[in-house]
Amino acid sequence: MVAAATSNLKPVSLELGGKSPLLIFDDADVDEAANIAFNGLFFNKGEICVASSRIYVQEGIYDKIVDKLVEKAKALVVGDPFDPQVNQGPQTDKKQFEKILSYIEHGKREGATLLTGGKHIGQKGYYIQPTIFADVKDDMIIAKNEIFGPVMSLMKF
């Protein structure tokens, strides 16, 4: 940033990746907040460094947001990305596919509640169901590590 600022004032944005949080407060429009949260993670199969994979929802609207997100995840069509009816294609490669599935298993073992998804789809390819966990705690692996896949962690505050 210093070099850009002292040379010719180029705009610079540092993408630091990680576990980008999204906070939703009680005064939020539930439908709009659910749309933003859903698209913030499930766009491009969750393979975005700034995907909002940790969703903190204030307790007053938590259940409503959870219901909307689960409904959206169950309606997402996974399959051949060349099919215009499909919303989510396969993960990038076998290594990433296996890594995502291992994180899903960590979430289950650590006590997060699997609300939907969590499984491989089909016999061929690296397709993973859109996955949503509730009751996630900040010290759980799925809350701390970047999964880089279609796995959402919901936390209530």
Q: Which candidate in 15, 32, 47, 71 is catalytic?
A: 15
- Which has the closest alpha carbon to 43: 53, 33, 29? 53
Give the containing element (helix H, strand E) for 39.
Answer: helix 30-42
Residue 89 CB contacts under 8 Å (≥ 6 apart), including other chains: 45, 78, 79, 80, 81, 127
- Which has the closest alpha carbon to 60: 92, 30, 39? 30
Is residue 15 annotated as a catalytic residue, yes or no? yes
Cβ atoms of residues 97 and 91 within 8 Å: yes
| Other C-beta atoms lying within 10 Å of the C-beta of residue 146 | 14
Q: Which residues are catalytic?
A: 15
